[in-house]
Amino acid sequence: MQEKQETNAVYLDPERTAEERAEDLAGRLTLEEKIGQLLHFSPAVPRLGIPGYVWQNECLHGVARAGIATVFPQAIGMAASFDRDLVYRVASVIALEARAKHHEFSRRGDRGMNKGLTFWTPNINIFRDPRWGRGQETYGEDPYLTSRLGVAFIRGLQGDRPKYLKAAACAKHYAVHSGPEPLRHRFNAVVSKKDLRETYLPAFCAAVREGKVEAVMGAYNRVNGDPACASKSLLVDILRKEWGFAGHVVSDCGAIHDIHKHHRVTASPAESAALAVNNGCDLNCGWTYSALKEAVKEGLVSEETITSAVVRVLTTRFKLGMFDPPSIVPLAGTPYEVNDAEDHRRLALEAAVKSIVLLKNENSLLPLDRSKIRTIAVIGPNADNKRVLLGNYHGTPSRYVTALAGIREAAGPGINVIYAEGCELNVTWMSFWGRKATAGFTEAVAAAERADAIVLCLGISPELEGEEGDAPASEAGGDRLRLDLPGMQEELLKAVAAVGKPVILVLFNGSPVTVNWAQENIPAIIEAWYPGEEGGTALAGVLFGDYNPAGRLPVTFVKSLDQLPPFTDYSMKGRTYRYMEEEPLYPFGYGLSYTTFAYSDLTVSHRKLATTDQKELGVSVTVTNTGKRAGEEVVQLYLSAPGAGVTVPKWELKGFERVALQPGEAKRVEFSLSRRQLASIDQEGDCLLEPGGYRIYVGGRQPDDRSRQLAGTEVLTVEVTIEGEAIKLPY
Q: Are 122 and 169 in contact (CB under 8 A)?
A: yes
> What is d(CA 56, CA 114) in angstroms, rounded to the nearest whole number?
6
Burial 13-32 (b: 16+ CB within 10 A, else e): eeebebebbbbbbbebbeee
The secondary structure element, H or E, covering residue 308 is helix 303-319
> What is d(CA 570, CA 437) in angstroms, rounded to the nearest whole number?
38
Q: Are 196 and 140 in contact (CB under 8 A)?
A: no
Pairing of β 357-361 and β 524-527: antiparallel
DSSP state of 238: I
Residue at 339: amino acid letter? N
Residues 465, 479, 632, 704: which is the catalytic one? 465
Q: What residues contact 504, with CB distance under 8 A and at least 6 apart?
A: 365, 366, 453, 454, 455, 456, 522, 523, 524, 525, 526, 543
Order across the sheet with 215-218: list the strands.
170-174, 215-218, 248-251
Determine whether 424 is an active site residue. no
Q: What residues contact 689, with CB distance under 8 A and at least 6 apart?
A: 611, 675, 678, 679, 680, 722, 726, 727, 729
Residues 23, 58, 97, 252: which is the catalytic one? 252
> What is d(CA 119, CA 72) in angstroms, rounded to the nearest whole number?
16
Q: What residues contact 15, with CB distance under 8 A and at least 6 apart?
A: none
Burial 662-684 (b: 16+ CB within 10 A, else e): eeeeebebebebebebbbbbbee
Determine whether 137 is an active site residue. no
Cβ atoms within 10 A of the Cβ of 624, count? 17
> What is d(CA 686, CA 680) in angstroms, rounded to the nearest whole number?
8
φ and ψ at 332, to 5 degrees? -65, -25
Which residues are tagged catalytic?
252, 465
